Amino acid sequence: MLDIKIVRTTEPKAKPQDESKLGFGKIFTDHMFLMDYTADEGWHDARVVPYASLPMDPATVVFHYAQEIFEGMKAYRTADGSVQLFRPDCNAKRFQDSADRLCIPKIPVEDFVQAVETLVDVDRDWVPHSDGASLYIRPFVFANDVGLGVHASKHYLFCIICAPSGAYYAEGLDPVRIYVEDEYIRAAPGLTGFTKCGGNYAASIKAGELAEEKGFSQVLWLDGVEKKYVEEVGSMNIMFKIDGKIYTAACTGTVLPGVTRRSIIELLKDWGYEVIEGKLAIADVMKAAEEGKLEEVFGTGTAAVVSPVKELDWEGKVANISGGKIGPLTQKLYDTLTGIQWGKLPDTKGWTVKVEPKV
């Protein structure tokens, strides 16, 4: 159990009045969580302090070699005014897996969850009240040794910030157009595809920008070896309903093991769907579309929630999906998942964790 010191701000910011205009990750709350690591002391000095800039030496390791990992999670306000998290232990565990790959010292699962709960409790008034809006939580760790040698750092900072947010895509729940990337790759076996490290996202920006210029919301990445099999989309995992069955890439090292992904798979299995986690060739997806068997396509992610896809473009071919509308299964998954997250449906799975008022 961490001993977390709390220093409250004396200058609280004005909270957003119009929650329909929050956007995603643009406004930040009054406080942040910080904890230092040194080789001698381990993780120490856990504290919640007023949100502020972090002074850093230009030679700090993370600026040069990107030794950094992050997480994405949300706090939701329920009808009775309480605040809850969704499977925070899953984020904590994935943070450890990312840390291991990036040679960053691990944070115990219970300390990670306690840090998130404490910060959300301090900033609980910032958790939005309106439908579809939530408090997006961004935990991250970066190397803060000062020096230019390439090796594991001996100093790290763990930081958590929070942003009251609406939908990730400007489209909201309207279906998005996705460009199937056939030149650049996101991951390859042995690399860092399964982690949430900033470097994965840095390497993805060029393809994302080019796709956006052509009017697409995001790219769909193919496997990095043969550029044949579907893997994931820039900010979410992706699932295909073909002839009644659900297909998604397996988590074998190149795909992010999404918390939303695994929750959706559990729901689908409960509802009797066959879910196939494995290799799915993009050529087979396009063929299924031609044959009228590609029934629905949707992305899953913490920020994106469940996001319908209306179009896939690959090597000049276009697959139109669900007549450009959200499919019935996608809608049911969205309603069920958000129903559990916002406390409107019973949580029979024990996925939600109430943030008890303590501070």
Does 195 participate in binding ligand COI (rule CB under 6 A)?
no
Minimum CB distance to ligand COI, residue 134 (Å): 11
| Residue 301 near ligand COI by CB under 6 A | yes
Could you give the angle at the alpha carbon of 195 between the alpha carbons of 193 and 197, nearest 5°?
Answer: 100
The reply to whether 217 sits near ligand COI by the rule CB under 6 A is no
Quickly count: other Cβ atoms within 10 Å of residue 323's Cβ: 8
**Binding track, positions 224-263, relative to ligand COI; x by CB under 6 A:** -----------x----------------------------
Nearest distance from C-beta of residue 279 to ligand COI, angstroms:
24
Size of the site for ligand COI (CB under 6 A): 5
Site string for ligand COI, 50-89 (x = CB under 6 A): ----------------------x-----------------
The closest of 267, 207, 257, 211 to 231, measured between CA atoms, is: 257
How many residues are there in the chain?
Answer: 359
Stretch that binds ligand COI, among 247-255, 272-280, 295-303, 333-341 (CB under 6 A): 295-303
3-state secondary structure 98-157: HHHHCCCCCCCHHHHHHHHHHHHHHCHHHCCCCCCCEEEEEEEEEECCECCCCCCCCEEE
Instruction: Give yes or no for residue 299 binding ligand COI (CB under 6 A).
Output: no
Cβ-defined contacts of 271-278 (< 8 Å, 24+): 273/244, 273/245, 273/246, 274/244, 274/245, 274/246, 275/245, 275/246, 275/247, 275/248, 276/245, 276/246, 276/247, 276/248, 277/248, 277/249, 277/250, 277/251, 278/247, 278/249, 278/250
Q: For residues 2 and 167, which CB has a smaller minimum distance to ligand COI in the complex?
A: 167
Under the binding rule (CB under 6 A), the answer on residue 330 touching ligand COI is no
193 interacts with ligand COI by CB under 6 A: no
The nearer residue to ligand COI, 185 or 259, going by C-beta atoms, is: 259
Among 2, 303, 326, 355, binds ligand COI (CB under 6 A): 303
In eight-state DSSP terms, residue 195 is S
Shorter beta-carbon distance to ligand COI: residue 284 or 302: 302
Stretch that binds ligand COI, among 13-21, 34-42, 207-215, 296-304 (CB under 6 A): 296-304
Element containing residue 33 per DSSP (H, E):
strand 31-38
Which residues are CB-contacts of 178 (< 8 A; sequence separation ≥ 6)? 216, 217, 218, 219, 220, 233, 297, 309, 311, 312, 313
DSSP state of 168: S
**Of 50 and 132, which CB lies nearer to ligand COI in the complex structure?**
132
> Is residue 139 within the footprint of ligand COI (CB under 6 A)?
no
Taking CB under 6 A as the rule, which mask of x and - marks residues 34-53 in contact with ligand COI? Answer: --------------------
Judged by the rule CB under 6 A, the positions of this chain that interact with ligand COI are 72, 235, 301-303
